[in-house]
Chains A and B, each alone.
Chain A
């Protein structure tokens, strides 16, 4: 009747992690990912961490790995990393809210000893870092988590007399909402949409005060409900219920602003997951990037497609603040990088970023226009660029300029080199059109569905680049990929062979990563 463990791979519900687990021992983790980045993350955990039993679902990658926090922190295509506590089949949905809440509690709530074991594992994993881990407070990325904390700067640590269960709803790339119970501070604003915050019974209803003082632990429940469950229960309600239950069970103190421990609960149609975030700040926060432009995870994913080898020459001819070059140079430092832009302010920002990241030796900047690159033909191994969506081109629309951009980028690429572009929906359709006019072919396929499941099942992005037949990762291949390698013929010589299209989320909008390989005019490379 309650949630059942999904498979033998899930940890058994009532057996806590061995408290002897050290960094070298394997553990279960899951990492959230922006839509479309799941296959990149799956590949990365295998490559970087030697992860096994990698399981990819929409928005998350589960895996098992024996890696310490230093290595785990290096993950580049994920959003937030969690210690996996429980992974069960989806909660059975009924109209009976009370019953459902009860089942959720039985999934999440354990006796204090279980939590003590988890906490000791977590603390061990962090060594001395504890709370000051990832203290890159000066990081300019305005994450919603940060704004969450800002909204509560007025709140002080509560006296343990009055208890509030703090609930926050977490989103991968979007806003986090918070709902605070007014408790004593009735003047305190409730920032969430839902205003049904309620006071909670004070602590002191029977648990052992001595144990709590020993523990001195504060917590926060972050709950996300979606799918069928969300129709019956809201994230806030579930979070509140769990918070109350945890306070009763363990005698902890709830703290929204700066909890010692955050418990993450995600309930949807695919599974019921409980985890503890490993790091205070998301992985997507890069301590080496001062001013953020393109989302760092997407930038890294693009660079990972470019096949950058030692000694390679890499160009971003519309580099903006240099995010792609920064990600690439950090990960593949044995190559040489050039960034070009026409805007002084962007180049200044890029220069600042490059200095702050200590990459002055690796990345050079040019004030040149991508439509007329003063660079020799066939001189670069990779060209990687985020084609600006907005009003960067004063005289013509982006779509009209696209052939000129492509021509110059293709010209400076050596035969066998890679071209990786990030395109808006409109430009993506336009590039489709260019391909079709070059070789003719079937009617335009619909834009790739943002279906993480299908995409993950299809395999990893690296495979796409090995095959000339250009499969895309998704089962529903785009028209570009499916036409078995038809090339966009340039006006002069050489051609661009499509090798994959990947739909990714940029938060508010969707975009498409296109990968090409330059082949010689005869079609070989």
Chain B
């Protein structure tokens, strides 16, 4: 799972507040290599763009999980594929 994909995913556990369930927390040991916010003028910052491109498109999570920030529900990532299926009781 690439970071780009993570950016598209949200938790759809029922009963969340509007806009809830996003962003999912990636549970991994590694700290982010990027600053928390892009600095102004980042479009022209070649170095930053390179690191951004790398993190967004070239780094893959193979094993781990995504945690819903509101419900705490964990969605596993296995062999690079995140599983966001809810069980029949949950849905």
Contact = CB atoms under 8 A, between A and B. Distances in A.
Contact of B81 (A347, A361, A374, A379): A347
Given A372-B91, A374-B12, A336 B82 contact: no
Nearest to B91: A372
B58 to A, nearest CB: 8
Contacts of A338: 5, 8
Contacts of B12: 372, 374
A459 B45 CA distance: 48
Given A351-B79, A351-B81, A372 B2 contact: no
B71 interface: no
A365 B81 contact: yes
B9 A372 contact: no
The 5 closest A-B pairs by CB, nearest first: A367-B83, A365-B81, A368-B84, A364-B5, A374-B84
A457 interface: no
Given A336-B4, A364-B1, A364-B2, A375 B85 contact: no
Contacts of B67: none
A368 B84 CA distance: 5
A347 B4 CA distance: 19
Given A372-B12, A375-B8, A376-B8, A342 B85 contact: yes
A369 interface: yes
A256 to B, nearest CB: 45
A366 interface: yes
A368 B10 CA distance: 11
Nearest to B82: A366
Interface in A355-408: 361, 364-369, 372, 374-376, 379
Given A374-B12, A376-B10, A367 B82 contact: yes
Interface in B1-22: 1-2, 4-5, 8-12, 21
Interface residues of B, number: 20
Contacts of A347: 81
A374 B10 contact: yes
23 contacts: A338-B5, A338-B8, A351-B80, A351-B81, A361-B57, A364-B2, A364-B5, A365-B81, A366-B9, A366-B81, A366-B84, A367-B81, A367-B84, A368-B83, A368-B84, A369-B85, A372-B91, A374-B10, A374-B11, A374-B12, A374-B84, A375-B9, A375-B10
Interface bracket on A: 10 to 19
A361 B21 CA distance: 27
A65 B83 CA distance: 48
A367 B85 contact: yes
A168 B1 CA distance: 49
B86 interface: yes
A347 B85 CA distance: 14
A496 B24 CA distance: 31
Interface in B64-91: 79-86, 91
A365 B80 contact: yes
B85 to A, nearest CB: 6
Interface of B: 1-2, 4-5, 8-12, 21, 57, 79-86, 91
Given A336-B4, A364-B1, A379-B8, A372 B79 contact: no
A206 B26 CA distance: 81
A375 B82 CA distance: 13
A338 B82 CA distance: 12
A225 to B, nearest CB: 50
A379 B9 CA distance: 11
Nearest to A380: B8
Contacts of A342: 85
Contacts of B82: 366-367
- Which among B10, B85, B91 has the highest number of chain A CB atoms within 10 Å? B85
Contacts of B10: 374-376
A276 B8 CA distance: 50
A347 B21 CA distance: 25
Contacts of B8: 338, 375-376, 379
Contacts of A367: 81-85
Contacts of A364: 1-2, 4-5
A364 B83 CA distance: 12
A368 B80 contact: no
Nearest to A361: B57
Interface string A80-108: 00000000000000000000000000000
Nearest to B76: A367
A361 B2 CA distance: 9
A376 B8 CA distance: 6
A405 to B, nearest CB: 16
A366 B6 CA distance: 10
Given A366-B81, A374-B84, 14 more contacts: A336-B4, A338-B5, A347-B81, A351-B79, A351-B81, A364-B2, A365-B80, A367-B82, A367-B85, A368-B85, A372-B86, A374-B12, A376-B8, A379-B8
Nearest to A354: B80
A379 B7 CA distance: 11
B91 A366 contact: no
Interface string A326-361: 000000000010100010000100010000000001
Nearest to B6: A364
Contacts of B85: 342, 367-369
Contact of A374 (B1, B4, B9, B80): B9
Contacts of B1: 364
A364 B1 CA distance: 7
Contacts of A361: 57
B32 to A, nearest CB: 20
Nearest to B13: A374
